[in-house]
Structure 1
Amino acid sequence: MQVDQTATGDVIKRLRRAEGQIRGVIGMLEEGRDCADVVTQLAAVSRALDRAGFKIIASGLQQCVTAAEDGEDQSANLERMEKLFLSLA
């Protein structure tokens, strides 16, 4: 199952934002910033990555539903999507 093209752009934006946040965290560590500030930024990065993953999973689930409406058996794909979702949870 491929990532839907409409979701790809949004996911890439989220990942680029996370990439910038990670660079910021590295800079904070190099500057010797307070650990609470660093952890706060790490939590923001983690949320950004989770949202990117959930967007990809949502896209896959949408494809499964559409295919199921067209009469295709999607049980294997839905099981796979469930495992992916749980890996992020």
Structure 2
Amino acid sequence: MIEEDNQKKIINRLRRTEGQLRGVQKMIDDQKECIDIITQLSAVRSSIDRTMGIIVAENLQNCLENPSNNVDEQSKKLQEAIQMIIKK
């Protein structure tokens, strides 16, 4: 579960990313240079990666601060958080 403060930050970050994507679409429509489009797409990817990092970090923090009474369940949650980091 994402804290309300972080939820707002994530939503704002995603809205900025959405704006960047619309900008890329416009660049393509306007037939801008390939390198410029790729640069903007790279910025979009970085923004999404940062957003994913925030979400995974909060999930991991939540697992550590609010451990499950079930050791196996806690271990599974931590392993899932680590896998999300590794997949990135």
TM-score, normalised on structure 1? 0.87
Confirm whether residue 17 of structure 1 aligns to residue 10 of structure 2.
no
Taking the aligned partners of 1:61 and 1:77, their CA distance within structure 2 comes to: 8
Query: Larger RCO: Structure 1 or Structure 2 (Cα < 8 Å, ≥ 6 residues apart)?
Result: 1
Greater Cα shift, 79-88 or 29-38: 79-88
Q: Which runs of 5+ in 1 are unaligned?
A: none
Instruction: Give CA deviations for 1:34-64 in whole Å, capped at 9, x if unaligned.
Output: 0010000000000000111000001001101
Deviation at 1:83, TM superposition (A): 1.4
Which residue is 1:79 aligned to?
Answer: 79
Taking the aligned partners of 1:22 and 1:49, their CA distance within structure 2 comes to: 11
Q: How many residues align?
A: 85
Deviation at 1:76, TM superposition (A): 1.1
Taking the aligned partners of 2:13 and 2:79, their CA distance within structure 1 comes to: 26
Taking the aligned partners of 2:51 and 2:62, their CA distance within structure 1 comes to: 17
The aligned amino acid for 2:24 is: V
Q: Which runs of 5+ in 2 are unaligned?
A: none
Percent identity, please: 34
